[in-house]
Amino acid sequence: MNADRLLAYYEQVADAPDAVARLRRFVLDLAVRGKLVPQHPNERPLKSSDKPLGVLPFDLPDNWCWFRVGDQLDLLNGMAFKPSDWNKSGLRIVRIQNLNNHDAPFNFCDPGKARERSLIDDGSFLISWSGTPGTSFGAFIWNRGPAVLNQHIFRCDFKTDAFISSFLRIAINGRLDAMIAKAHGGVGLQHITKGRLEDVLISLPPLAEQHRIVAKVDELMGLCDRLEAARANREAMRDQLAAASLARLTAPETVTPRLSASASNPPPNVAARSTTPAATSSPTREAEDAFADHARFVLDALPALTARPDQIKALRQTIVNLAVRGKLVPQDANDEPASELLKQLKKARIALEAKGKTRKDKGESPPHYGGEHGFDLPSSWSWARLTEIGQTKTGTSPNSANPDLFGKFIPFIKPADLDGNHINYDGPGLSEIGISHSRLAAENSILMVCIGATLGKINTTARPVCFNQQINSLTPYLDGLTAFVAIALKTSDFQSLAWSKASTGTLPIISKGKWEVLSIPLPPLAEQRRIVAKVDSLMSICDQLEASLTTAAAMRRLLLDVLLVEALAPDEDCLVEAAE
């Protein structure tokens, strides 16, 4: 065994995604190859196989030998229970999930209907032979009292006394790759036949060494448990520190030059929207310094707090959140204020109303205009309802029984099509006549899922589309607003607000009426362009960080692979095998 380099480089591979799982596998590999504990030359196996075994998987110590599983075990399959056989009480039915998860619920059956060959009790040796490779296959020793086996699990009765059950479990689980290689079936669900399982070769050491191996495996698996717990604690602490650090950037007390939510926009029923804030809070040097300090801390700590690609998600969200609070780019006193932009939007809406291209504004306003957001805005910004920004619609689906409504004339968007950075336009579409049976969103519209578990999912259109009833659309009255408004709808604040307005039944739904009166921060148009450019630039950096972390994780896994190959290989072969 050549484990020195594995130990020397362990710190570098400890954060590989499956490092501890691979170490567990490594322990089993050593155990079944005779490399975990020293051999005693005077110890011999109880019995050597007298049958031809074909090509042997690897070399064994001189006082070990190979056996087929079928030479040692009589494999008795469980029963094929139907749901109609289940009772609320009685004899427990053991399924594969009950072997892998002690908290998995049991089904029960009438004890009188259980056949004897499928009954088990404490100490019964079991092999699961069907399911998902890597999670379902394996050997187990049952220790939870009387039960009956479901199909896909063998009860294994010993034919000889050559193995102790605790080592046999190691011997079989150490050869799971060989077992899975003999399995067949579809993707994700495979099974191995009884005959093929019986032909799997397992290694047999002397009985005394079996006991020493079991004790050493138990010791090392306990160490792996502690390593796994330590890693989980380390990752949890890292996540908490990262979340706390990023949260400080959007904490209310770190806000820079601002206009209070209540003052930035009086409710629309007020006669005139003042361009001069009724009340402002002057930025203090302390607030500016505090925000700068928090930002520097996050940037300094980021390399230590982000070790996994998925941790970049929180950074992306923080960038979006800062963008709509006026903290991402400086304000320019020369920019035309957002109050003037709102006047232009109203004028554009009235023009569309006159042409009959949008419904007339009812003049209604939410009871808390901007106040529900919990943060203040720069003085040149305003709060704006979605209906003030653009035309809102709820999608609808054509009658599926009429094939004439469907075709390739225009994409028909469903919630799943909004995944990713760009909308998927390649799914089933509508015909030209099908457009009138759905809802049409123009190019540069914003689509948001408003029903179900993915409520709040956002994307923007690069072409005209139709969309189904699970999606609302917002088409700005003026050009150049889509990119920033989409950012605003992706913020944690808006997402939380939308969810808070959704119905609380089995299927969360926010109606268009509740959705379209939600408000978002609206900066001057010139600042919107600067914000979008900055967000795009920072997201590109996030892409690079995520790619580098993905590459680093792959390199750690590759290094771990090489070190494990070296550790298992004979001294003279380790470098050649590692290179391969």
Helix 312-323 to helix 492-501 angle (10° resolution) is 90
The CA distance from 301 to 314, in Å, is 14
Output the six-digit token pair for 339.
Answer: 């109050």
User: What would the DSSP string read from start to end of 1-70?
Assistant: ---HHHHHTHHHHTTSTTHHHHHHHHHHHHHHHT-SS---TT---S----S---S-SS---TT-EEEEHH
Helix H or strand E segment including 169:
helix 165-173
- The reply to whether 52 falls in a domain is yes
Distance CA 260, CA 257 (A): 10
In this structure, the answer to whether residues 334 and 416 fall within a common structural domain is yes
**Same domain flag for 441 and 315:** yes
One domain for residues 163 and 266: no
Domain identity same for 472 and 511 = yes
How confident is the model at residue 146, as a pLDDT? 96
Ranges of residues in the chain with a pLDDT under 70 are 1-7, 9-13, 46-49, 134, 186-188, 245, 247-305, 361-372, 567-580
Boundaries of domain holding 286: 234-270+282-542
Distance CA(353)–CA(363), nearest Å, equals 14
> How far is residue 106's CA from residue 142's CA, in Å, rounded to a whole number?
14
Which run of H or of E encompasses 91? strand 91-94
Burial 308-332 (b: 16+ CB within 10 A, else e): bbebbebbbbbbbbbbbbbbbbebe
One domain, residues 380 and 508: yes
C-alpha 557/C-alpha 551 separation (Å) is 10
13 located within any domain: no
What is the widest separation between alpha-carbon atoms in the chain? 102
> Is there a single domain that holds both residue 456 and residue 405?
yes
CB contact set of 72 (below 8 Å; sequence gap of 6+): 158, 159, 160, 162, 163, 168, 202
In the prediction, which pLDDT does 549 show? 81
Q: Please check whether residues 292 and 410 belong to one and the same domain.
A: yes
Q: Does the residue 38 lie in any domain?
A: no
Task: Indicate whether 309 and 405 sit together in one domain.
Answer: yes
Say whether both 186 and 246 belong to one domain. no
Is 177 within a domain? yes
CA distance 147 to 20: 33
- Under DSSP, the state recorded for 170 is H
pLDDT on residue 572: 44
The 3-class secondary structure across 212-251, one letter per residue, is: HHHHHHHHHHHHHHHHHHHHHHHHHHHHHHHHHHHHHHCC
Model confidence over 370-407: pLDDT tens digits?
566 778 889 999 999 999 999 999 999 999 999 999 99
CB contact burial 510-520 (16+ within 10 A = b; e otherwise): bebebbbbbbb
429: left (phi over 0), alpha (psi -120 to 50) or beta: beta
198 in a structural domain: yes
**Reduced to 3 states, what is the DSSP secondary structure of residue 384?**
strand
Residue recorded with tokens 């400080």: 248
Burial of residue 536 (CB within 10 Å: 0-12, 13-18, 19+) is exposed
Express each pLDDT in 465-494 by its tens digit: 999 999 999 999 999 999 999 999 999 999
Q: For 327-461, where are the alpha helices, taking DSSP H only?
A: 338-354, 386-389
What are the tokens at 156?
């294994």
Give the integer Cα–Cα distance in Å for 203 and 65: 6
Residue 454 φ/ψ region, left for φ over 0, alpha for ψ in the -120 to 50 degree band, beta for the rest: alpha
Whether residue 306 sits in one domain with residue 371: yes
The whole-angstrom distance between residue 194's C-alpha and the CA centroid of its chain comes to 36
Q: Is the pTM of this model over 0.75?
A: no
Residue 117 lies in a domain: yes
Same domain, 252 and 397: yes
Provide the residue type at 428 as one letter: P
Same domain, 201 and 249: no
Give dist(CA 287, CA 254) in Å, integer. 6
Does residue 496 lie in a domain region? Answer: yes
216 in any annotated domain: no
Helix, strand, coil share (%) of the chain residues, nearest 5: 45, 15, 40
Residue 347's CATH number: 3.90.220.20
The one-letter amino acid code at 225 reads D
pLDDT at res. 7: 66
Total domains, the chain: 2
Supply 558's token pair.
């590759």
